[in-house]
Structure 1
Amino acid sequence: MKARLIHKLHVALEKRFPEKRLFLRSDTETRFIRLKPETQLVAWAGSALIVSWTIIATAVLLMDSIGAGNFRAQAQRDQATYEDRLNALSTERDVRANEAVAAQARFSSALEQISLMQSELLRSEDRRRELETGLEVVQVTLRRTMGEREAAQDQVAALEAAMSGDGETPLGYAQAGQADGTVDLLATALADTAAERDQIASDAEFALSRASEMELELRLLQERNDQIFRQLEDAFTVSVEPLDNMFRAAGMNPDDVLAQVRRGYSGSGGPLTPLQFSTRGGGEDPDAARANGILGSMDRLNLYRIAAERIPFDMPVRSGFRFTSGFGMRWGRMHNGTDFAAPIGTPIYAPADGVVTFVGWSSGYGRLVKVQHAFGIETRYAHQSRMRVEVGQRLSRGDRIGDIGNSGRSTGPHLHYEIRVGGRPVNPMIYIRAGQDVF
């Protein structure tokens, strides 16, 4: 049975692959190789397999090449888009930095103007007090002069009554001489009284005209003070409102921030002591209320300045850099900070006042510095090449912390910058963007 099947298969193969002989001839002999149908089938199958494998391999390589080219082109397009975005962010950062510098200049100018206006306001108040005192003196003098004039008029009337009285008793020679002396004395007294009356009238007229002038000057001074008040109030409105917006943009309540700063600076007195313009007691007059309101705004502005110096609104890197990674998910893991790529040795600066709490090596962070600020805020500076601070050192805004490096788990020189509030990481760009509109 088996031999019969083999014979049928051999007959079928001979129809497709008839037996062939391959002759090999040399100078001395001739040899041949017989190619059986089975051998031809194996050779044909092998050749077909090799050709098929070559075609498939070529197709796979071609498809891989096409896919790699598409992926590379996509990667290049993504890189170009990312670089354009970085350039746009860098340009925006420069614009914001220029605006911050201009805002700081305007803020300094406003403070200088406020100082000058406050000095002018105090001088105006002194002048107004002097005018009030002078007006009271003139009024007292006028009242005294009027009383003296009335007394002189009564005396003149009495003398005239005495001179016009009837004398029925005969007078002797001595009495006549005495009467002549009395008449001369009365005439002199009348002349002096008339001159004094004229002088009193002239003084009274001068006092009245001076009082009118002082009232006009006092009214002009009041209008000038009102204009100064308006300018001061407008200046404080322009200066305080951006600071309010800055703290709100950082997710902080300005009133809570100011209350906490005020508890740390609870002393009173000095130039911000409430003013009292009235010297007669009683309630506070409108000018005093406005002046004290301005002093309150100055106190609020000063508290804002103290708070802003203790909150990391500034940039930790000021030299040329570019953002390489932001806050959020990255490669399936949470990235808790913002990366600033720059050459090794680029300075790192403190963005706010604080105290250094950690300096050393920390696993993937490499060389790490931690700084504790007010309001429960902590900043971290990782992958440094050199650390220039010590634990317990107090830092001010702008002090150098260290240098950018490539230590720890890092793919290139950069600063990994973190902000943590109450131990919880937050996006550092929230604070940086909030501060760009002011600083």
Structure 2
Amino acid sequence: MTAILTPKRLTPADVLRVGASGLRTHPLRVLLSALGIAIGIAAMVSIVGITASGRAGLNAELAKLGNNLLVVGPAQGALGTDAKLPTEAETMINRIDHVWSVTAVGAVRGAKVYRNDHVPTELSNGITVVASRLNLPAVVSADVAAGSWLTPAAQRFPTVVLGAKAAEWLGFDASNLGGRIWLGGRWYTVIGILRSAALAEELDAVVFVGWENATEDLGFDGHASAVYVRAEESAIGSVHSRLARTANPESPGEVRVSRPSDVLIAKAAADRALTSLLVGLGAVALLVGGIGVANTMVISVLERRAEIGLRRALGATRTQIWVQFLTEAVLLALLGGGSGVILGAAATAAYAMAQHWTMALPGWAVAGAVGATFTIGCLAGIYPAVRAARLAPTEALASN
């Protein structure tokens, strides 16, 4: 009676041990192959993580500054244009339902500002002089970096507050507050410097004077060049649609209404478009890494023909050989993928820390990276595994 021999089944632990043994025998080759996968995964994870962190940072910034600021001005453009808003524009806008607060600045045309009275008149650096309402910093979320803001008493005297860029251009900081600048043909004392206003960057290159002082001493005509409006966020669309005809009922077409936060959101959208391109480049790197894994496995099959033949002669089945080499390819890809996830997360954390963002790494990005490496390992290992399984024991041993 002939006995029927049944091949012993490999347990999962056996499969992992046998698959890992091939990696341990050629560490340098494994390192270089895994590096290709790691670079691709790190690129994709860091790109997604940095984009998500940037988006989280933007949302946090908008939450802090407010997403409900609207700016009303002449349709021709920014401060200093010939178009004018009616002098009653602020009062009329303040009557709109769901409007919380209103403030304004007005360009003081003809007033030039210089560091001192010896600077040639043509070297004004393009700094704009504006008359300002006292509640401007609160409405536009502009903090005082040094000194103080205009007060009801100070605005009646020749005192000014400098925007962030204007202070830099005029050579002022916290150390020389109280110094004077030459403005409109007379000396003005600098009592404060503002921080950069994220939602009103046009105010950074501005010198602020009190509304009363500008009217009495600098020939200001009382027309606001820009009106800043804070409204209830849930009603921002309704308020936006009513501002132009409220600010200038006779010529609403000559009024420009903008939402500064939309600019930040547009920048984020542009970043997302760029991210898609960079993710594509990361995918190319992954493809190159997958080819490297496949190449390594093919070479491994060629070099280990004797091992394959010996295992086949000792009773290993084609399926067991196939599973061994496929497992080896998957482990190689996962090694590179795991390293790539760690590198990508580290790069995201470093960049977020440098930008003062909260790190945000979506779970789907990590899961996708692991899934991508597993898929690459399977695809890259199929052909070498099949080739190894097809080797006849006699042929493999004879080749040695």
The alignment's TM-score, normalised by the length of structure 2, stands at 0.31
- The structure whose residues are more often helix, as a share, is 1
Report which structure shows greater RCO (CA 8 Å, sep ≥6).
2
Rg bigger for which structure? 1
Using structure 1 for the length normalisation, give the TM-score. 0.29
